[in-house]
Structure 1
Amino acid sequence: MAVYNNPIVLQRADPWVLKVDGEYYFTASDPEYNVIAIRHASAINDLQKAPETIVWRKHESGPQSKYIWAPELHRVNGAWYIYYAAAEREFEPNGMPTHRMYVIENTDADPTTDNWVEKGQVVTQFDTFSLDATTEVIDGVQYLVWAQKDPDIPGNSNLYIARMENPWTLGGEPVMLTKPEYDWECIDFLVNEGPAFLFHDDKIYITYSASGTGVPYAVGLLTADRGADLLDPNSWSKSPVPVFKTCAENGQYGPGHNSFTKSEDGTEDLMVYHCRNYTEIKGDPLFDPNRHARVGVVRWTEDGPDFGVPAPDDVWTPTSTEVLPADGGPLAGTPVSRD
């Protein structure tokens, strides 16, 4: 059983890890929100020191020129796809961010080549704030799940699902899976975002994140039976309580926006998420870079997944709001004593 150092990658929020042929490919929100980069390693503990390759840069102007958020790397029908959100300006007149969802494609065997092609915006039912697209092919059907603002529903975002015609085009009407409704989903902001699929036995799970991105940020859970109609909201049950949240005892605050991968030996499901290790943030939280990528083991019970609590730090982390140097800094990823 592998022992993981936490954090696994410093100053990378919204972490996405995809394991392909024994290699871990990692992407996440860059603290400058201006590029999409991929790093990879054969062991999770080696991701911090792995070099990053920038595969896409924001446009100089227009709809993809600001705030590149939450890239996700996927492999569909032998090609690589990255889903991400990008904006043209900070806010709409109604105060909502201007993000929309976009896709780039690479048909090379290696996703770090420079052959990424823009496939355009994922057009949905509303021309509104949308982000955090994730995808899965289930029983031969590709689905997209994402977060979006409905003009008629209070709050920032709900979660939607739809079939896909191809990896950049919806192939059917979207269906809302969940909206912020419980108290723990509505702290600071009414938010459901950051969906991620998890599979075990005859169940399909979707985790998502809720509330503002500070201490209240927490993870919720949707559950459906394998073989059910995933486009029917009645096929999904929703946990009334968060399944992963702040653990002050371990010094971990606001965990969320996770992905899932497998352990090196393939026997364990791993949850990769971001978390801060302090609560006092100077200035706009959006520009505080110290949401670090972390990992935990998913334990399985008769009632489903048990995500435990965010583990304490056991490697050095920065305490300032300065962006780390390109090489990660001399101490980045260095184990420290928990004593």
Structure 2
Amino acid sequence: MTGCSRSSPSEEELRDPLIEQRADPWVILHSDGYYYFTGSVPEYDRIELRRAKSLNGLAGAETADIWRKPDSGPLSKHIWAPEIHFIDGKWYVYYAAAREEKPFDHRIYVLENESANPMEGEWIEKGQLKTNWESFSLDATTFEHGGTRYLVWAQKDPRIAGNTNLYIGKLANPWTLEGEQTMIAKPDQAWESIGFMVNEGAAVLKRNGKIFISYSGSATDSHYAMGLLAASDASDLLDPASWTKSEAPLFYSNPDQSQYGPGHNSFTTSPDGKRDILVYHARPYRDIEGDPLFDPNRHARAQSFGWNEDGTPNFGKPGEPPDF
């Protein structure tokens, strides 16, 4: 992956951090000209949404708590990693939740809103997004390709060593999987298995005749890092043989910039679409007291990225975008 194609610069210098104490950041630039942002809040008790006309504007933007967890039941604990998507004229939020008595036994759930502005209107619970078996599952994302809508998510298979693998399937509608469910990655490399054996936090890029899926691995401390899956956009995306995995992490802790454990990213662009932007979280320090899940300082960050001569993305290092 050598050589980097030139990308159009932007007048806006992205602030760092973009938003403090917002892990698992998800950003989309909608056709109405607004950036919409959501992510895990430190309390893990609600889904917060904000919007702004610029990425930097998200930091000080008004927020809306579009959903709060109940006190009991299957949605009562650890609300993690919401994502917002606009599908067939409606807004959807995918998120993971557990129950108070089983705080780390998550499932995937979906919200729907018909309002043109998702900061307004009513968010309706569409229920659990059922996969082919019941087990710990989270980090659902969705994309359309060739007239088909796909879901990619992380899930535990009790028959496979480790915590979570990545799966892909077709959606009959935004909250219902149909047909085959395919594993496309599992934590089989050393860098993905430090602390926990994890593949999670998928995000999709379509470019240069390829479908790219970034993902994160290892425990959520300084070892957390990002890898990349790739498939031809003409291939059968439900065939695991269509996917290849990077042989090493492509985005990992950078002590020179005091950024540790970068990952669980999303992708967006500048308003004119000419500048590709990676949005991710990272801590400003390496050492953590207690469980890293309860350290609140995974800050949302953003930086431009470019493209290598072989058509793959070049993310640079955290805090150091590639030299376009």
Which bracket does the TM-score occupy, shorter chain normalised?
over 0.9
- TM-score where L is the length of structure 2: 0.93
Whether 2:136 is the aligned partner of 1:129: answer: yes
- What is residue 309 of structure 1 aligned with on the other side? 317
How far is 1:91 from its partner? 4.3
- What is residue 83 of structure 1 aligned with on the other side? 94
Q: Which runs of 5+ in 2 are unaligned?
A: 1-9
The residue correspondences of 1:9-48 to structure 2 (distance < 5 A) are 9-21=19-31, 22-48=33-59
- What is residue 8 of structure 1 aligned with on the other side? 18
Q: Indicate the structure with greater strand content.
A: 2
Q: Is contact 1:90–1:98 with CA below 8 Å preserved after alignment? A: no
How far is 1:264 from its partner? 2.2
Q: Is contact 1:89–1:98 with CA below 8 Å preserved after alignment? A: no
Aligned CA RMSD, in angstroms, stands at: 1.1
How far is 1:90 from its partner? 6.1
For 1:65 and 1:89, the matched residues in 2 are separated by 6
The residue correspondences of 1:265-276 to structure 2 (distance < 5 A) are 265-276=272-283
Q: Is contact 1:209–1:220 with CA below 8 Å preserved after alignment? A: yes
For 1:137 and 1:199, the matched residues in 2 are separated by 10
The residue correspondences of 1:161-200 to structure 2 (distance < 5 A) are 161-200=168-207
What does the per-residue CA deviation read over 1:95-122, in whole Å, with 9 as the maximum and x for residues that have no partner? Answer: xx21000000001101011410000001
The residue correspondences of 1:248-287 to structure 2 (distance < 5 A) are 248-287=255-294
For 2:303 and 2:184, the matched residues in 1 are separated by 26
How far is 1:283 from its partner? 2.5
Q: Which amino acid aligns with 1:10?
A: E
Q: Which amino acid aligns with 2:138?
A: L
Q: Which amino acid aligns with 1:14?
A: D
Q: Is contact 1:158–1:192 with CA below 8 Å preserved after alignment? A: yes
How far is 1:280 from its partner? 2.1
What does the per-residue CA deviation read over 1:282-311, in whole Å, with 9 as the maximum and x for residues that have no partner? Answer: 232211110000011121012311000011
Seq. identity, %: 54
- TM-score where L is the length of structure 1: 0.89
How far is 1:199 from its partner? 1.4
Q: Which runs of 5+ in 1 are unaligned?
A: 313-339
Q: Which amino acid aligns with 1:88?
A: R
For 1:297 and 1:224, the matched residues in 2 are separated by 23
Q: Is contact 1:162–1:171 with CA below 8 Å preserved after alignment? A: yes
How many pairs are equivalent? 308
For 1:5 and 1:204, the matched residues in 2 are separated by 29
Whether 2:219 is the aligned partner of 1:212: answer: yes
- What is residue 158 of structure 2 aligned with on the other side? 151
Q: Is contact 2:115–2:121 with CA below 8 Å preserved after alignment? A: no
